[in-house]
Structure 1
Amino acid sequence: MNGIIGITMGDPAGIGPEIILNSLAEPSLSGRHCVVIGSAEILRMVQEKGLAPSADIHVIERIEDAVFNPDIVNVIDIPLEDLSSFEFGKVQAQAGDLAYRCIKKATELAMNEEIAAIATAPLNKEALHLAGHHYPGHTELLAHLTDTKDYAMVLYTDTLKVIHVTTHIALLDFLQKLGQERVATVIDIADAFMKKAGFEQPRIAVAGVNPHAGENGLFGKEEINILNPVIAQMKEKGVDVYGPCPPDTVFLQAKQGQYDIVVAMYHDQGHIPLKLMGFYDGVNITAGLPFFRTSADHGTAFDIAWTGKANPESMITSVELAVKLSNI
Structure 2
Amino acid sequence: MKQDSKSILQRYFSGKCSPEEKQIIEDFLLQEDNASLSEYLESTWETTAGSTLNDEEEAGKRYQRLRATLYRGKSKRVWIRAAAVAAVLITVSLSLVGVNSGKHAEKQWVTLTTAAGEHKNIVLPDSSRVWLNCASSVRYPETFDGPYREVHISGEAFFEVTKNREKPFIAVFGDHQVRVLGTSFDIKAYPDAEYHHVTLVEGRVNVEQKTNGEEPPSYAVLQPNERLVLSASGQSFQKQVLDHAEHAIAWKKGEIRFHKAGLQEVVRELRRWFDADIVLKSPAESRDITFTAVIKPGASVDDVLKILGMTRKISYEKKNRQIVITPN
Q: Same fold (TM over 0.5)?
A: no
TM-score by length of 1: 0.21
TM-score by length of 2: 0.21
| Greater gyration radius | 2
More helix by percentage = 1
